[in-house]
Amino acid sequence: MEPTHLFELVIAMFLAIIALHYAAHRLGLPPSVALLTGGALLAFVPGLPAISVDPELVLVIFLPPLLMDGAWAIALARLRRHMIGIASLAVGAVLFTCAVVAVVAHLIFPSLPWAACAALGAIVAPPDAVSARAVLERVKLPRRLQILLEGESLLNDASGLVLFRFAVAAAATGAFSAGEAVASFFVLALGGAVVGVVVGTAWVKLVRRLGDEYLIIAATVLLGWVSYLLGELLHVSGVIATVTTGLIASWHQHTVFSAATRMRGTSFWTVMIFLMEASVFTLIGLSLRDVVERGGGLTTVIATMGLPMLAILVTLVVARFAWVFASDLVISFCAVLGVTRAQPLGAGGATVLSWAGVRGVITLALALSLPEGFPGRDFILATSFAVILGTVLVQGTTLGRVIAWARLVETETERARLTMSQAEVAMVQAQLGTVQSLAYDAEGKLIHPQLLDRYQRRATVIVDYAERTEHYKPVLHAHFDVVLEAVATGRRELIRLHRAGDIDDETLDELERDLDLEELSAISAKA
């Protein structure tokens, strides 16, 4: 394919993404479902060139920034608090699922070598960070379940990758050592964490010296790729390196970013991640054509592999349910004995956690990276795609209903000590203290009376609001509705003046930015 045609195809894909995303919004579907099915349908459009996905390139392009984004947004305090539960899912559940899937695959196809069965298990075992984010964006979960799912999706890729590499090596050499695999996993994870700490620390020092906000944004955008590629270059876990770097950058961004850098950087980053996430699902759909052709056509794939693929999908779901419910029983037993203060999730929480294991880009990339001539390669490819389709289309579309059925409630231990209103009171009172200390000159004369009065009135109002939040909410919403109408009127007048030639572009940009900030502030206050 000529470079110009490839570029045209990429632009067409982005336009399709916008259309599919809009259709999903109008139909009330998860965007990932629309993008996946849309990509699959586009793959069979007559005249469209076949899309061949290079798995290594997909991982390098898409995985680092998406992992970085997940690590950037995760609540670090809750991550530390629930690290045992996250490790149970990211390592224990992946190992257990891999083993169960390998056993079932060997029962279905006794001639398939154990190493190939283990490779299939490693490919489909880890839920995907991109798919998890796409599903979780549309649902409301208690904080504990949210952090368990987010933490699992960030860290389980490392487990799946290690298992996959050892399974492929075992298929090639006929030898496998469980002890060597475990030791390799810890070396890779520890090495990745060290690389992540080094890169993250270097980024903090660099940002403090750059000074230019556009250079800072550019350095931050490249950060995930730098960490991942360096980790892989040093033969440690690039996934763990990227996640560790993201956690460090997220912790320090509040102190090293200016307000302008944060606003501009967040806007750019949000659009970039949106396009990358959408592109991943679309590419997965487009790759269906290649998978079907490898299997001898859609009819042949369904006729010869339909039931085995369904069996693997059911096994995958059942294995996750078994692990999550067994873990919850262990927590309940330990809590009764007083060994731990952790509370079990309960049947509803465990069901939601079990049902949220959606697969995606990691599964596809690992399956496509299987070497030619690998035992059962066509079956593994078809099954991997069936697992992605099944989990995204079925679990992704029904998770909201499962959550509604479970009637989950936030536990007291997961609630923050202060509400948002109480935090705002503490912040404003600290600001008032600073203004009071600076409002008088060295002789004790008040030199900033209006500023002092403004902060005093603001502190009084916010304290009163925190004490009577429910009473003030309707009045507050009505207040900011008026503010938003005033902003809209001001914007129309500003544009009229510009169109009439009464003000220049610089004046328009400056005043429009002020209106934008006022509008964002009003929208945030109403939320």
> Whole-angstrom Cα distance, residue 376 to residue 109?
9
User: Cα(35)–Cα(476) distance, rounded to whole angstroms?
Assistant: 39
Tell me which of 335 and 255 has the higher pLDDT: 255
Contact 364, 55 (CB under 8 A): yes
Average pLDDT on 123-128 reads 87
> Cα(38)–Cα(52) distance, rounded to whole angstroms?
17
The answer to whether residues 251 and 76 touch, using CB atoms and an 8 Å cutoff, is yes
Instruction: Look at the block and give the residue holding tokens 């190992």.
Output: 95
**pLDDT-above-90 percentage for the chain:** 22
Phi, psi angle pair for 142, to nearest 5°: -60, 150
- State the DSSP string of 483-506: HHHHHHHHHHHHHHHHHTTSS-HH
Evaluated on CA atoms 65, 199, 76, 96, the torsion sign reads: positive
Q: Which residues contact 167 (CB under 8 A, 6 or more apart)?
A: 115, 116, 118, 119, 121, 122, 176
Tell me the pLDDT band of 365, cut-offs 50, 70 and 90. confident
Name the one residue in this structure whose structure tokens are 């008032």: 432
Rounded average pLDDT over 455-480: 81
pLDDT band at 130; cut points 50, 70, 90: low
Predicted pLDDT of residue 80: 84
**Average pLDDT value for residue range 290-294:** 74
Other C-beta atoms lying within 10 Å of the C-beta of residue 331 = 20
Torsion sign, CA atoms 163, 167, 170, 172: negative
Q: Which residues contact 185 (CB under 8 A, 6 or more apart)?
A: 158, 159, 162
Phi-psi group of 376: left, alpha or beta (phi > 0 → left; psi -120 to 50 → alpha; rest → beta) = left
> In angstroms, rounded to a whole number, what is the distance separating the alpha carbons of residues 235 and 14?
34
What does the alpha-carbon distance between residue 117 and residue 125 come to, in Å, rounded to a whole number?
12
* CA 523 – CA 518 distance, rounded (Å): 9
The confidence score (pLDDT) of residue 97 equals 93
In the predicted model, what is the mean pLDDT of residues 219-244? 93
Q: Which residues contact 416 (CB under 8 A, 6 or more apart)?
A: none
Helix (H, G, I), strand (E, B) or coil at 97: helix
How many of the other CB atoms lie within 10 Å of CB of 222? Answer: 13
Q: Give the pLDDT confidence of 144-198 residue by residue, as tens digits.
A: 888 888 888 888 878 888 888 888 888 877 766 667 777 778 888 899 999 999 9
Res 12: pLDDT: 86
Residue 65 contacts by C-beta under 8 Å, 6 or more apart in sequence?
221, 224, 225, 272, 273, 276
Report the distance separating Cα 222 and Cα 504, nearest Å. Answer: 36
Regarding predicted confidence, which is higher, 334 or 106?
Answer: 106
Query: What one-character-per-residue DSSP string does 248-294 give?
Result: HHHHHHHHHS-HHHHHHHHHHHHHHHHHHHHHHHHHHHHTHHHHHHH
Closest CA to 91 of 191, 236, 240, 223: 240
pLDDT mean over 359-382 = 83
With cut-offs at 50, 70 and 90, classify the pLDDT of residue 290: confident
Residue 138 has pLDDT above 70, yes or no: no
Tokens matching residue 367: 């399956």
- Residue 227, pLDDT above cutoff 70: yes
Pair 363, 124: CB distance under 8 Å: yes
Residue 489 has pLDDT above 60, yes or no: yes
* Residue closest to 459 by CA, chosen among 417, 420, 430, 439: 430
pLDDT band at 340 (very low <50, low <70, confident <90, very high): low
Distances (CA, A) of 263 to 171, 240, 253, 372, 513: 50, 28, 12, 47, 12
Confidence class for position 341, pLDDT limits 50, 70, 90: low
Over 90: is that where the pLDDT of 321 sits?
A: yes
Q: Is the pLDDT of residue 213 over 60?
A: yes
pLDDT surpasses 90 at 96: yes
DSSP annotation of 443 reads T
Q: Tokens 């919850």 correspond to what residue?
A: 328
Q: How far apart are CA 34 and CA 27, in angstroms?
A: 10
Confidence check: pLDDT of 384 > 70: yes
The Cα–Cα gap between 256 and 213 comes to 11
Give this prediction's pTM: 0.80
Nearest-angstrom CA–CA distance, 119 and 98: 8
Residue 321 CB coordination number (10 Å): 16
pLDDT of residue 154: 82
Q: How far apart are CA 220 and CA 203, in angstroms?
A: 8
Q: Which residues contact 261 (CB under 8 A, 6 or more apart)?
A: 213, 216, 217
Q: Tell me, what amino acid is at 41?
A: L
Coil vs helix vs strand at 446: strand
Instruction: Judge contact between 265 and 216, C-beta under 8 A.
Output: yes
Residue 523 carries which side chain, given as an amino acid letter?
Answer: I
Distance CA(353)–CA(316), nearest Å, equals 14
User: How much is the pLDDT for 404?
Assistant: 84
CA atoms within 13 A on the CB side of 116: 22
**Residue type at 156?**
N
Gap between the Cα atoms of 230 and 290, Å rounded = 32
**Euclidean distance between CA atoms 38 and 24, whole angstroms:** 10
Q: Characterise 47 by phi-psi region: left (phi > 0), alpha (psi -120 to 50), beta (else).
A: left
**106 pLDDT band (50/70/90 cuts)?**
very high
Query: What average pLDDT does the structure give for the chain?
Result: 84
Q: How confident is the model at residue 249 (pLDDT cuts 50, 70, 90)?
A: very high
End-to-end, the C-alpha distance of the chain in Å comes to: 49
